[in-house]
Every structure is written in C-alpha cells, then in structure tokens.
Structure 1
C-alpha cells in the first residue's frame, strides 16, 4: 500500500503558539536531548565512575597533620610541675615537661596493607559502574522505542482520521442528494433516513478518530518535552529506512520469522538492554554477598607518626619522637552481626538470580508473541489489500447500478461501508506491522539499526 501523504498538527493552531515541525529522526534527537530520565542516567554513570575512583582511593595511604593546644588551671599546673620540689639549682637542669599552655604537633601516616572489604569494594564499584552504563542504555532504547511507536501512532491516527473525514464528506453529499430526491418524491423517507443515520455514524467515527489523534499527539508531545504554548507538527510519512526494514521482514517466510524468536539465553541477555542491566545487577548482588563474607577476614595496616614533643610554643623546634606500628585486627566475635549480614546478602543474591531468570522468560514470551504477531499481520495486510481491491471494484459496479436503479440505497451504502472498512483495515495492518517490527528490534536490542 502506498503511503498516503498528509500533514498532521498535534495541536490546533491558536494565537501565540509556536509551531515546531519534526521528522522522526528529529523527534528522536529532541527526546534524547530533553528527556529528564536520560539526563539523569548520564549523571548516574558519572557518579558510578567517581565511586570506582573513590574505591581505589581507599587503598591509598593517608597523611594527616594534627596540632593540639591545651591550657590547664594554676592549681593543676602547680601539682603537675614537679620541678618546684627541687631547689633552684636543680630546677634549671631538669627539662620542663608540663606547661600551663601547651602545643603538640604530629604527622600521622596510615597505610592499609590488607583489607578484604576495601579490595572487594573496587570490584563492587566496577560492577556498579556497569549497572549504571547498562541502565543508561535501557533508558535510551526505551525512549527510542516509545518515540518511534508514538510517532507511528500519530501517523496512523492521522491517516485514519483523514479517511473518516473523506467518508464523512462523501456521506454528506449523498445525504443532501437523498433529501433532494425525497423532496422530488423519487426517494422514500426510509431511504433518506438511512443516509441520515449513516451520516451520524460517520460523524461519530470522525469524533472518535479525533480523540484518538489527540491522545496519540499528547503522548508524543510528552515524550518530546513539549513546552507550554508549543505546537509540534510531524512529517507526512514513515521514514524510508523503517519502511524498508519492515518490508524486508514481511518478505521472509513465516518459518524464518518464527525462528527469530528462538534466541539462546546468553545472546538474548547480551542483546536486550534490560536483561543486560539485570545481569549486571545480579553481579552487584553477588559481590555484595562476597563483601559481607569479607568481614570475617583479618585486617592489616601500618601506622607511622612523626611528632614534636609538647611544649609552650607553636614552633616545631623540640625533640621529635618517631613511632612505627603495625596493626593486625582479627574478628573473633561480632555479636552475630557479620553472620546475619552475610546471610542477608546471600538471599538478596538468590533473589536477584530468580528475578533475572523470570525477566528472561518474560522477554522470551514477548519475543515469541511479537514474531507470531508479525506473521499474523503479514496475512492481515495481504487480506486487507485484496479486500480494498475487491471493495473498490465492487463499489464502482454498485455505483453504476445505482445510477441505473438496479440496486437499492441500502445495497449501495453497504458497498461503501465494505470499501471503507477494507481501507481502514489496510491502514491499521500496515502501521501495526511496522510497529511490530519496531518492537521486535527493541526486544532484540537492535533499536539503533532503525535510525539512519
């Protein structure tokens, strides 16, 4: 079926509104630029990258410079300064160790030598970065699928509305003709009323189609971030690349199309963005379980301190004691905290595995459903095309016979309705087949191939 060219405005023109005309590719670009969730996922990726760097930084030495000032009262100072118990000649020879106002300064270096939780934290941060990256891809492919599907819905609703309006106008002309013939006593009142009922039915169909177009337009506008007072116009037809891919799929044998749903679990998980993100999340759960078990392992660290002895001046000009220490911490009993945390993490890991398995089964069900639908839509489209050809020929014959008075008014209306329904079925099956093609590519993780 040739694509009928038409222009559709998502919102009726009104004063003060700005019109933006977008192709499908333009709509995709705009959605990717303006969608809040896409921007949020990009920030999530950046956060995950810095989380990984932070995990590495936890293994680096830390160096701190500390200074302490203290002041004691006169009585306490007098009690602590033992030099007062000696004579003046000895007091000058004994170094002062107690000061009423004193300062102490030290440089402290700490180096982790072995810490299983810190090392596992690096793997956990890497897995978190993978989850963020996969989640960003999920959001992008979901948005591509939604925008393309929404764009197709607008085109489909617009073409259906155009057909309904054409038939409404044709019915109006026939109604006026029937009323003239009734006034000339060439038509009965029943025949005129039949055309009036048909006209009301066509009006109802137009109103319903307008509502469908408004709904489709509103949905697309939401995806594109339409602002207040902004009107978005879509282009007249489906992009050639998408049409070509859909037609190439329709030309395949039914068995070949059905085999497209028979994908191995590994390939399906790797291709489908949501499943890949789920597997990355499962890996995070596994590493979280390992992180909890790492609490049972000992920690080894090195500490070095270079200090200046406490005196009554900020100047670091006194004796400098140096201290080197190695700390070994072995967890013996933690009140079952480590055990309960490890068990909780284990069951969280098991939960994520089961959720991923269910997600794979659900995706496989959707994949088999969409390939079956494509096979069905192929047959429906061929039937609709044959029905349109038959309906057009039948309508021409009945129209000639009606002019000759050989058929009744009801038979003529039935022929017109038959042609109308066939044309609507052709439009519906055509766009539904394209939409099913898009859904197939979405489930297989091949959305990028639909974009030029």
Structure 2
C-alpha cells in the first residue's frame, strides 16, 4: 500500500513539473508579435471575410450580363373544361356571345426560356461599381493591417517602457531600503533624527506603491497585447527586444512636410480608400443616369403543351412552339425617381471630394506635428543623456561623502531622487522617439504587417 501511494505521489510530482515547464514565459520579439497579429487578429480576420463577400458581390453583378436560362413544367387537372367566349355565329347560335367548353381535363405544359441582355447600360455600370468596391475592400484590409501594426508596436513599446521603469524603481527601492536601515540604525544610536527616518520610510512606501502599480499595468498591457496578436495560450509573454534605439538619430531623419506628404499621398491606404470611394460614387452616378437609357435583350422560348382527358401517354401528340426575338425596353416615366437618384449621387460625389481634401489636410497636419515632436524629442534625448551622467556622478560623490560622514542622509536621499528622476526622464525620451518613429512610418503609409 505504501509503495502504491509513493508511486502516485511521484506521478503527480512529474505531472506538476510538466505543467510548470508548459507555463514558462513565451519569448516574443516585436517582429514575432506583428507576424502573429497578421494571422490571429480577429478584426483582420473579419475584414478578410469582407473581401471575400465583395468578390461574391462582383460575381453576382456580373451574372446580370450573362444569359439566363430557365426550365418550367406544370400539370393541371380541370374538373370542368375550360371555357372560351366566341361570337354566337361562330358557335352556331343566335347569341351575341356564346361560351364554349374546350380543352382536355388533363393539361401538361413544359417550356425552356432564354433571356440575354444585349444592351444593358445600368447593369454594366453596376458591374463596374462592384469591381471598384472589391478594390475598396482590399485597401481597407491593408489600412486595417497598418493600424493593427501601429497598435501592436505601440503596445509592445509601452510594455518595454514599463519594464524599464520597473527596473529603475526596483533599484531605487533597494537603495532606499538600505537608506532606511541606516537611518534606523543611526536613530537607535542617537546619531540621527527621527524626521530623517520618517522621510526614508515614506520614500520606501511610495516606491513600493509605484512598483506594485507598474507590475499591474504590465499585466494589463500584456493581456491587451495578447488579444491584439490573437495569442490564446495561457502562458505569460516575455518581450525580448530592447527599448534602446535601434536606429541612427540625426538630421537625415528630419523630412520637410511637403516631402513627407508626397510620400504619404502615394502610400497611405486611407487616401487610396477615399479616392476609391469617389470613383465608386461616380460609378453609382453613371448607373443612375443609365437608368434613363433604353435596354435591348434577346429573348427566346421553346414550349411543349398538351391537353387530354385520359392518361394514355403513348397516344398523345406533343405540339411544339418556339420563338426567338429582340425585346426593347424604353423608360418613359417613373415618378422622377431616377432624377432624384441622380441628384443624390451628385451631392454624394461633392461630399466625398470635400472629405478627400479634408483628409489630405489632416494628413499634412499629422505629419507636421510628428516631425515637430521628432525634432524636440531628439533635443530632449541629448539633454537627458547629459543629465543622467551628471546625476550618476553626483550620486556617487554624495554617497562617498556620506560614507565619510561629510554629508547628511537628506543630501544622499536628494541625490538618489535626482538619479531616479534622470533615469526615468531618459527612458521617456527614448520611448518617445521609438513611438514617434513608428507613428511617422504609419503616417507615411510605410507601416504594415
């Protein structure tokens, strides 16, 4: 019995070890995250289905220009013979109109009909409009991928930034805990002030609060990042990229607004979408105008019919009727419905033209803002690089003086605070440049999955 219990315990231990290994953090680079978002993002999946829907709509509209062939068959049983009305003289009576019962009680009818549009301008324009809509959905997919890439990249950098801030706060917390121990020791020896100990205690508690808040923010941001990339695994993710700039910062990054706008106008999907919307509106206008034009169609039919009183099919004769002709349809008056549709399409076209101009102005403003922020962020980075070096040197000097009893605990605490703040400011400057670089790529239409 003891051996069996030991065996079960060992098995459970091995199983738990496997689960622990499975629950290890998954390494994730920014490139991996973007590739996973391309395949796993739910919004992109829905938009791809919208592309497929647009293709089917194009097939549907094209079918309006193809021949339509239908076959029909019917059987009817008459309990009373069918009646026709003839002049009395035709029926051999003196009545002006004489009803005559004709036909068999069993009626059979079968026919095949053909309808082929020859000149159908409205259907032709509608087909063109559906093709434009298909291109429009393709551009929407590309635009959505660009926006998802921006969200994923920004979220990834947010987590990197918070991880680096967490590291700085944890280092500061260690130093402040040591300072608190020193203050308590000095206070116990009668060589320190109670206010210094209280100040160190407050600093430690504030840092603990900041560390706890950052850890929770990292967890929440990680959940959102996993949702964006479509990661369903329960394991945690570990970001392996570095926050430090992987690009050269210099004046060559500073583009003029006109140059940047020229690049954006050629590459941005939202501008391409708006242009396609204008084309689609123009095509709908032509479709409405085509409703005023005549339509010509080829029609034909082959029919077999029979009437009899019995079910002796072998004795039946099957009369056949067939024809082939041209049908002309000319719109005359439909209550000004078509004229109203034309007016609506013209108004819509004017609206879309204004919207395109407004979009271009918005893009130009966005680029000008990003480029201005870029220049300022480069300046801030240079300043904070110098500041953090000075803060580190000052902290070392004050710490050495404190150890030699040449400075107070308050001076060391101030130096510690200045160093932590300088590190945070430097990280913010690096983070801002990374985010601005991604935003610039997106604004230029160069960012995608």
TM over 0.5: yes
User: What does the per-residue CA deviation read over 1:250-304, in whole Å, with 9 as the maximum and x for residues that have no partner?
Assistant: 2235xx6141564446x53331122222222222122112211211111111111
Match of 1:320 in 2: 320
- Asked if 1 retains the 8 angstrom alpha-carbon contact of 2:42 and 2:230, the reply is no
Measured after TM superposition, the shift of residue 15 of structure 1 is 11
Question: Are 2:138 and 1:139 aligned?
Answer: no
Pair 36,75 (structure 1): closer, same or farther in 2 beyond 3 Å: same
Match of 1:347 in 2: 347
Question: Are 2:306 and 1:310 aligned?
Answer: yes
Question: Are 2:362 and 1:362 aligned?
Answer: yes
Greater alpha carbon shift after TM alignment, 354-363 vs 364-373: 354-363
Question: Are 2:254 and 1:257 aligned?
Answer: yes
Question: Are 2:231 and 1:234 aligned?
Answer: no
Match of 1:385 in 2: 385
User: What does the per-residue CA deviation read over 1:416-451, in whole Å, with 9 as the maximum and x for residues that have no partner?
Assistant: 111111111111111221111011111111114xx7
Match of 1:424 in 2: 424
Match of 2:399 in 1: 399
- Asked if 2 retains the 8 angstrom alpha-carbon contact of 1:257 and 1:375, the reply is yes
Pair 406,22 (structure 1): closer, same or farther in 2 beyond 3 Å: same
Match of 1:116 in 2: 121
Which of 262, 280, 284 is equivalent to 1:288?
A: 284
SS in 1 for 2:445: coil
- Asked if 1 retains the 8 angstrom alpha-carbon contact of 2:159 and 2:222, the reply is yes
SS in 2 for 1:447: coil
SS in 2 for 1:327: strand
Pair 441,200 (structure 1): closer, same or farther in 2 beyond 3 Å: same
Measured after TM superposition, the shift of residue 360 of structure 1 is 2.0
- Asked if 2 retains the 8 angstrom alpha-carbon contact of 1:61 and 1:112, the reply is yes
In the alignment, the residues of structure 2 paired with residue 364 and residue 275 of structure 1 have an alpha-carbon distance, to the nearest angstrom, of: 12
SS in 2 for 1:296: coil
Match of 1:193 in 2: 198
Which of 37, 41, 44 is equivalent to 2:50?
A: 44
The 5 Å alignment of 1:172-183 reads 172-183=177-188
Match of 1:162 in 2: 167
Question: Are 2:201 and 1:204 aligned?
Answer: no
In the alignment, the residues of structure 2 paired with residue 78 and residue 37 of structure 1 have an alpha-carbon distance, to the nearest angstrom, of: 66
User: What does the per-residue CA deviation read over 1:89-111, in whole Å, with 9 as the maximum and x for residues that have no partner?
Assistant: xxxxxxx9721111122221111
- Asked if 1 retains the 8 angstrom alpha-carbon contact of 2:109 and 2:306, the reply is yes
Pair 156,259 (structure 1): closer, same or farther in 2 beyond 3 Å: same
Pair 97,270 (structure 1): closer, same or farther in 2 beyond 3 Å: farther
Match of 1:149 in 2: 154
Measured after TM superposition, the shift of residue 77 of structure 1 is 6.5
In the alignment, the residues of structure 1 paired with residue 272 and residue 236 of structure 2 have an alpha-carbon distance, to the nearest angstrom, of: 35
- Asked if 1 retains the 8 angstrom alpha-carbon contact of 2:285 and 2:346, the reply is yes
Measured after TM superposition, the shift of residue 404 of structure 1 is 2.5
User: What does the per-residue CA deviation read over 1:20-73, in whole Å, with 9 as the maximum and x for residues that have no partner?
Assistant: 332222222222222111111111212222222222221111112222222222
- Asked if 2 retains the 8 angstrom alpha-carbon contact of 1:55 and 1:118, the reply is yes
In the alignment, the residues of structure 1 paired with residue 59 and residue 200 of structure 2 have an alpha-carbon distance, to the nearest angstrom, of: 76
Pair 291,421 (structure 1): closer, same or farther in 2 beyond 3 Å: same
Match of 1:6 in 2: none
Greater alpha carbon shift after TM alignment, 68-77 vs 123-132: 68-77
Pair 14,426 (structure 1): closer, same or farther in 2 beyond 3 Å: farther
In the alignment, the residues of structure 2 paired with residue 354 and residue 382 of structure 1 have an alpha-carbon distance, to the nearest angstrom, of: 43
CA RMSD of aligned residues (A): 2.8
SS in 1 for 2:303: strand
In the alignment, the residues of structure 1 paired with residue 82 and residue 41 of structure 2 have an alpha-carbon distance, to the nearest angstrom, of: 69
Pair 160,439 (structure 1): closer, same or farther in 2 beyond 3 Å: same
- Asked if 1 retains the 8 angstrom alpha-carbon contact of 2:84 and 2:102, the reply is no
In the alignment, the residues of structure 2 paired with residue 271 and residue 102 of structure 1 have an alpha-carbon distance, to the nearest angstrom, of: 68
Runs of at least 5 residues in structure 1 that lack an aligned partner in the other structure: 1-12, 87-95
TM normalised by structure 1 equals: 0.85
Which of 168, 189, 213 is equivalent to 1:184?
A: 189
TM normalised by structure 2 equals: 0.85
Count, aligned residues: 416
Pair 123,78 (structure 1): closer, same or farther in 2 beyond 3 Å: closer
In the alignment, the residues of structure 2 paired with residue 77 and residue 332 of structure 1 have an alpha-carbon distance, to the nearest angstrom, of: 37
